[in-house]
Amino acid sequence: MMVPTPNDSVYSTGGVPGTSIDGTTLKLADVNSEGLKLIAGLFDALPTQTRLHPLGRDNVISYGQIVKFDKPLKGNTLFVLGAGSSGTGSGKAILTFSDGTSETVSISLPDWTDPTAYSPPAIGATGSTDAQKLAAYSADSTKGNGYRIVYEADGRLKWAGGKTTTKARLYYQAIKLSGTKEIAQIELPDMASSSSTSPPSNLLHIFGINAADVSYP
């Protein structure tokens, strides 16, 4: 899915009418990080026809829907861009490959306003080529909590108007797969039990999905 540029639209991540990310202030969490720019490029470069939401919105709330890719994704690592709302959003997703086999993976992303969720990489983007730098940077994110921050906005827009000063964030998760195959579709985690609460809690918002080959150390 293509990620809109900050001036294109307001990122709406609230599970219910309330607040949304101020897209006009959305930026890379570290504008000087070469590795982070490479990660962001994985999502920026995706064609619009792989947009996840049928109405063209910038994210979907995961509830077990199946997303079929017009062009299969290929790589030994799955990259997911998103955030939780009203708590951490996590669950099991099922990848189906072009050869008919499948693999189950775990997706878990922290709340979009969690002040403790800032998790910079422990190592930089090292290497002489972009591929090598991406490998070093993304391999780091598979350690520890398994996610890293990508974008950050200076505030949240209120549904009734106005803005808060609470920082809002989008994260990426790099998930190492069992091998390199073409991913034909993904069945997103079923968060029905979370969305049925009042108000909804622990929702998982997905903004983008891609895959790439990573040379793990």
pLDDT at residue 101, as a whole number:
97
100: pLDDT strictly greater than 90: yes
Asked if 82 and 90 touch (Cβ cutoff 8 Å), the reply is no
- What separation in angstroms does the CA of 142 have from each of 11, 82, 114, 177? 26, 16, 20, 11
Rounded Cα distance between 120 and 36, Å, is 10
Q: Which amino acid, residue 140?
A: D
- Cβ atoms of residues 170 and 119 within 8 Å: no
The interaxial angle of helices 130-140 and 34-44, nearest 10 deg, is: 100
Sketch the domain layout of the chain as residue ranges: 19-212
CB 79 within 8 A of CB 138: yes
The pair of three-digit structure tokens given for residue 211, joined into one six-digit string: 């895959």
- Determine the pLDDT at residue 68: 87
Question: How confident is residue 69, by pLDDT bands cut at 50, 70 and 90?
Answer: confident
pLDDT in tens, 102-155: 999 999 999 988 877 766 555 667 777 776 777 777 766 666 567 788 888 887
Give the predicted TM-score (pTM) of the model.
Answer: 0.81
Query: Residue 172 in contact with residue 72, Cβ under 8 Å?
Result: no
pLDDT tens, residue by residue, 194-217: 555 656 788 898 888 989 887 766
Read off the tokens for 194.
């979370």
Q: Where are the alpha helices (DSSP H) in the chain?
A: 34-44, 130-140, 192-195
Nearest to 174 by CA among 198, 147, 153, 192: 147
pLDDT category, 95, cuts 50, 70, 90? very high
**What one-character-per-residue DSSP string does 172-206 give?**
EEEEEEEEEEEEEEEE----HHHHTSSS--SEEEE
What does the alpha-carbon distance between residue 124 and residue 201 come to, in Å, rounded to a whole number?
A: 34
